[in-house]
Amino acid sequence: MTSAIVGYARTSTTDQVAGLDAQLRDLTAAGCAKVFKEQVSSVDTKRNELERALDYVREGDTLVVTKLDRLARSMANLIDITGKLKAKGVELRVLALNLDTATPTGKLMMNLMGSIAEFERELMLERQREGIAKAKAEGKYQGRAPTARRKTDDVLRLKAEGKTADAIAAELGVSRSSVFRILRDA
C-alpha cells in the first residue's frame, strides 16, 4: 500500500484568487499528489471539500495544509479534525508552522496546542459560571425562557390524537427530548 500526500487549500472568498494560487503552489511544492480546494468561509459554511479530503485519506497518508487557519475554525475544531485523522492513521503537516505529526516533536506541539485550548476553554467556562452566579445573586439573570414548556398543552393534545414524538416535535418546532420530557412529566 502506497501512502499519499494529500493537500487541502481554502480561501474565504472567490475574490482571493492569489491566495488560493499561492496555497496550491506551496502544496504542489510539498509533494501533494492530490489537492482538495474550496473558496468558502470557514465560519458559517459547510466545507464540502474538507469533508471529501478527510474521507479520501487513508492509513499512512499525510494531509498537508499551508496554515492552520486554512484547516480549522477553532482549536476545538482542530482537535476534532486531528482526532479524525489520528483514528484513520493519517498524519497532518502544517507548512507555515513546520509542524508534522509524523514526528515526535510535531505530536508534542499538537498536544500542547490542544491542551492550551482546553485550558483556555475551562477558564472561560469558569468565568462564565461566576458571572452568571453573580448576575443571579443581583437579580439580573433569569435564564433562558423555557419555550417548549409553554407548548405543554399542545404536546399533550397531539399525543392524545395519536401523533408520534417526531411528528409532534416537527409540528411544534421543539426538540424530541422536549416532547419526551413533557410527556414524562404529565
- Provide the annotated active-site residues: 12
If one counts every other C-beta atom within 10 angstroms of the C-beta of residue 128, the result is 10
Letter string b/e over residues 100-126, b meaning 16 or more CB atoms within 10 A of that residue's CB: bbeeeebbebbeebbeebeeeeeeeee
What are the distances in angstroms from CA 77 to CA 31, 52, 70, 82, 92? 26, 16, 12, 9, 14
Say whether 94 sits in a helix, a strand or coil. Answer: strand
